[in-house]
Structure 1
Amino acid sequence: MERVDESASEPVPVPADRLQEEVRRVMEQARELQEFGSSLLWKVSNEEQSLRQNAISFESSIRRLRSMITSLVAQKLLDRSLANKYEEDLQRAICIIAEGDAAAFLPAKYQGRFLRKFLGPINVRASRKEVQLKVKEEYNSYRDRTALLFLLFPLTLLVLRSWVWDGCLPAFPVQLYQAWLLFLYTGLAMRENILRANGSDIRPWWVHHHYCAIAMALISITWEIEGQPNCAQKQKGVELFLQWAMMQGVVMLLQNRYQRQRLYTRIALGKANRMDVVWGEASGVDGQLWILCPIFFLMQGFEAYVGLQFLKSAFAGIVFKWQVICCGILLVVMAIGNFINTIQSLMTKSRIKAKMKGTKSKKESD
């Protein structure tokens, strides 16, 4: 066997004066790095402050010009078509800033109480565009994952109810599902508030809708679901709620697939911001709307029906609990809000299409 030279693995001794010199050099390097970093941050801070002042001046100029255009049109001193052209140019200037890195230096949007309750008084606005887009991509990925679970979780409960639990749901699995809904809607609300702070055009109703859903999930966790006797009658509302949840999961999957394709097209045409996300019901093309809108209205009607069934079972004395009454009211409120928001989206889309047709016909006549 070969003998290992033990002396080769021993460290070579370093003279004391050389060691002292190396330590001194490292200390000097640390001081230089500190001074360079402080100087760089001071310069960057001054340049950022100057850029923020320019961004504030830019917003002020946009507001002043729009007010001037409105005033001149009202006084009939400016032609409407010319005013529309100026408005389009101003909107194009805003898009140039919003789509670039300079957007981070615009005045920060109000982040709302929800984020401050969870995160405290910190600024969640990203300074770089790629970071903002990464936040949006993570939000889309989160919605894709939860949409599938939104469909499978209640389906599993209903299957087990029929095959294993003899038509009577135990309280714990349903409460576990409500705890998951609480986690889901809280995560969606936080992500949407962060996206809005970073420039996403999310309708305020959808954020408020998730606040209502958070409250309903929190209330449902404390609801001890009753079983036998008359289990089918007592749990009729819970069964309808699970069926509605499955329906909503299917709608979320359709929405994520079809409307996101349309959003990418709108971004490519310059009609949408890269930070915009899919939530508006009327963002699809005409062929998709013929499919999606009836599904939306059917889901909203079924949601209201489930809420009314909750209220009916409570006031009829079948399951008289405050949780049932609160959940029924919240479901009806969310259904009405969703219906109103869908109608507003369709009306907005029709006005935009009419305006585009009018502009196109005018150009052809010219």
Structure 2
Amino acid sequence: MVVASDKKSMAMAEKIIENQSIQNSMLAETEKMRDELKVSADELQRKLVELSDYVDKYEGEVAKFKKNLKEISSSGAGETVETMKTDLIALSKLLPITGGPFVELFLGKMNVRFAMKKERLQFKSEYELFKQKLSFVFVVLSLVSLMLNMRWVHIFLQLFLSYYYVTIAIRENILRENGSNIKSWWIQHHYLMVGCGVVLMTWPPTESYHQFSLILHAFGLYVSFLQIFQTRYQMARLYTQRALGKAGEMDVVNTDTRETHWTGSVKLLLPMVWFGHMFQLHLAIYAFRIWLSFPKEIHPLCVSMFNLAMFLGNFSTTLIVVREKAKNRTANNKKTQ
């Protein structure tokens, strides 16, 4: 028993010594990694300072080139000047940018152009995920607002919509500066939605509001379902276009896609989109009629104007896309004949 106990103690001691040796080895290796990281950090810091200085130098060179180009624009150089103007646009894409007045309003005058591809793709991915998640939230909130005639529920929905469109507008402005294919109209549409939301939140619960709220939330519910259907179709098309090399890595899902194909899905989608446009026009007319009945209230008129502006923009943009696609189909059919 004593011999067995001694052997067990020796084995435990050997195990402890072995573990201590492993820990010492790992500690030495970790210290070496730390020292190497410090060297890498110093090198990275030096490179970042050099890059910052080079960016400042590049900004100065572009500014000088832009000034010279402006001075010779009136000299009648013609095609050469136009070519250099095109080059200036391409060269300016490497410069820091703030994203415009709307982004500056929330973020200040900070650079929103990502230098690393990884950052651009991550920002785009988070933008698309944000839209997909909130689409289902809007369906629920619109349905609750339609079923419950409670003012605080309606205000919460409009507050949430305003938050959504402000956030989307900021992100889309940043995405555009980083190479995304988002058209300016859709960002302007978001501004109009925010303005309309503010008017609806401040509309007192008068008789005019109660007359309008039912059709308003019915329209909101329809648009929420339509947005989910549109997003799923366009995501599938965008993945296909990327695989074929016809879409850039920063292209995003938006209702102004020029790559619409006349599949069974889009043949169902387009009538739904047109109906949505007509529904919004009806909403604008209905709000205007309410204002005629209550001319002392400014809210119905403002809501009518906002919806009319959004209808005109949405309708004309969709019409342009459909006409362009129809022309392309006709041209392709002639080539194959």
- The CA deviation at 1:136 is 0.9
Q: How does 1:119-134 map to 2 (within 5 A)?
A: 119-134=107-122
Please identify which structure carries the higher helix content.
Answer: 2
Asked if the contact 1:104–1:127 (Cα under 8 Å) also holds between the matched residues in 2, the reply is no
Q: Does 1:144 align with 2:132?
A: yes
Asked if the contact 1:171–1:226 (Cα under 8 Å) also holds between the matched residues in 2, the reply is no
Q: 1:31 to 1:284 in 2, by over 3 A?
A: closer
Q: 1:241 to 1:356 in 2, by over 3 A?
A: same
- Paired with 1:194 and 1:35, the residues of 2 have a C-alpha distance of 31
Asked if the contact 1:126–1:132 (Cα under 8 Å) also holds between the matched residues in 2, the reply is yes
Structure 1 residues 205-264: Cα deviation after superposition (integer angstroms, max 9, x where no partner): 00000000000111211111226xxxxx75231110100000101111101111111011
Q: 1:172 to 1:347 in 2, by over 3 A?
A: same
Q: Does 1:321 align with 2:297?
A: yes
Q: 1:260 to 1:104 in 2, by over 3 A?
A: farther
Structure 1 residues 160-218: Cα deviation after superposition (integer angstroms, max 9, x where no partner): 3xxxxxxxx23222111111111111111111111111110101100000000000111
Q: Does 1:236 align with 2:216?
A: no
- The CA deviation at 1:286 is 0.3
Q: 1:253 aligns with which of 225, 228, 236?
A: 228
- Paired with 2:61 and 2:101, the residues of 1 have a C-alpha distance of 29
Asked if the contact 1:116–1:122 (Cα under 8 Å) also holds between the matched residues in 2, the reply is yes
- Paired with 1:110 and 1:286, the residues of 2 have a C-alpha distance of 39
Match of 1:39 in 2: 46
Q: Does 1:268 align with 2:256?
A: no
Match of 1:333 in 2: 309
- The CA deviation at 1:354 is 4.4
- The CA deviation at 1:333 is 1.0
User: Which secondary structure does the structure 2 equivalent of 1:111 belong to?
Assistant: coil
Match of 1:207 in 2: 187
Structure 2: gaps spanning 5 or more residues:
1-34, 64-68, 70-78, 84-89
Asked if the contact 1:226–1:235 (Cα under 8 Å) also holds between the matched residues in 2, the reply is yes
- The CA deviation at 1:335 is 0.9
- Paired with 1:259 and 1:51, the residues of 2 have a C-alpha distance of 39
- Paired with 1:357 and 1:273, the residues of 2 have a C-alpha distance of 27
Structure 1 residues 29-76: Cα deviation after superposition (integer angstroms, max 9, x where no partner): 9998886555333444466679989999xxx9xxxxxx58x99xxxxx
Q: 1:293 aligns with which of 265, 270, 275?
A: 270
Q: 1:106 aligns with which of 86, 94, 102?
A: 94
- Paired with 1:109 and 1:345, the residues of 2 have a C-alpha distance of 30
Q: 1:33 to 1:136 in 2, by over 3 A?
A: closer
User: Which secondary structure does the structure 2 equivalent of 1:286 belong to?
Assistant: coil
Q: 1:270 to 1:214 in 2, by over 3 A?
A: same
Q: How does 1:166-205 map to 2 (within 5 A)?
A: 169-205=149-185
Match of 2:322 in 1: 346
Q: 2:253 aligns with which of 259, 263, 278?
A: 278
Q: Decide which moves more: 282-291 or 170-179.
A: 282-291
- The CA deviation at 1:106 is 2.4
User: Which secondary structure does the structure 2 equivalent of 1:235 belong to?
Assistant: helix
Q: 1:29 to 1:201 in 2, by over 3 A?
A: closer
Task: Report the TM-score, using the length of structure 1 for normalisation.
Answer: 0.68
Asked if the contact 1:108–1:197 (Cα under 8 Å) also holds between the matched residues in 2, the reply is no
Structure 1 residues 117-146: Cα deviation after superposition (integer angstroms, max 9, x where no partner): 111111111111121111111111111111
Q: Does 1:312 align with 2:312?
A: no
Q: 1:355 to 1:275 in 2, by over 3 A?
A: farther
Q: Decide which moves more: 105-114 or 336-345.
A: 105-114
Q: 1:324 to 1:137 in 2, by over 3 A?
A: same
Asked if the contact 1:310–1:328 (Cα under 8 Å) also holds between the matched residues in 2, the reply is yes
- Paired with 2:303 and 2:152, the residues of 1 have a C-alpha distance of 18
- The CA deviation at 1:293 is 1.1
Paired amino acid for 1:337: G
Q: 1:54 to 1:331 in 2, by over 3 A?
A: same
User: Which secondary structure does the structure 2 equivalent of 1:140 belong to?
Assistant: helix
- Paired with 1:276 and 1:35, the residues of 2 have a C-alpha distance of 36
Task: Report the TM-score, using the length of structure 2 for normalisation.
Answer: 0.73
Asked if the contact 2:260–2:325 (Cα under 8 Å) also holds between the matched residues in 1, the reply is no
Asked if the contact 2:62–2:92 (Cα under 8 Å) also holds between the matched residues in 1, the reply is no
- Output the aligned Cα RMSD: 3.8
